[in-house]
């Protein structure tokens, strides 16, 4: 089966050895995504809603590059540093997925790769 890797060109991808997304056949896996812009700055500092919203926009961009769409996402995984703010993460997730309703998980973890990141999201899509 053909494999296609998608990259953003950030130094982290080469340093750690990962792709932004991988498409194999009709499956697209999107790597853990945080709220950082092209310069590596945190977007939505101290704002779970804004971070989640920005991450989902980044996921949509790479998904389109891989030939998919948000409607084809079947699973999201949210890793959060403060589960007590679940409604704020959930509000942004709902705005995107209210009619799609993928399977999802929200899991509290102690920290992410750098201070200031409050959420990291992974996604899986199955395209036709």
Domains of the chain with bracketed CATH: 3-126 (3.30.1330.40)
* Largest distance between two CA atoms of the chain: 42
Query: Which H/E stretch holds residue 50?
Result: helix 48-65
User: If we measure between CA atoms, which residue out of 68, 59, 55, 75 comes closest to residue 28?
Assistant: 68
User: If we measure between CA atoms, which residue out of 107, 98, 117 comes closest to residue 34?
Assistant: 117
Structure-block tokens of residue 81: 């540093």
pLDDT digits (tens, 9 = 90+) for 73-108: 999 999 999 999 999 999 999 999 999 999 999 999
pLDDT digits (tens, 9 = 90+) for 52-77: 999 999 999 999 999 999 999 999 99
Q: For residue 94, what are the CA distances in angstroms to 3, 39, 53?
A: 31, 28, 10
């Amino acid at each position: 089966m053909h494999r296609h890797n998608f990259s953003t060109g950030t130094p982290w991808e080469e340093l750690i050895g990962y792709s932004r997304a991988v498409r194999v056949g009709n499956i697209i896996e999107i790597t853990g995504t945080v709220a950082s812009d092209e310069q590596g700055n945190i977007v939505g500092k101290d704002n779970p809603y804004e971070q989640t919203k920005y991450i989902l926009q980044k996921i949509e961009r790479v998904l389109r590059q891989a030939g998919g769409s948000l409607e084809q996402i079947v699973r999201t995984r949210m890793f959060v540093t403060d589960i007590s703010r679940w409604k704020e993460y959930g509000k942004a997730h709902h705005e995107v997925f209210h009619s799609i309703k993928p399977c999802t998980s929200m899991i509290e973890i102690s920290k992410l790769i750098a201070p200031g990141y409050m959420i990291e999201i992974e996604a899986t899509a199955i395209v036709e």
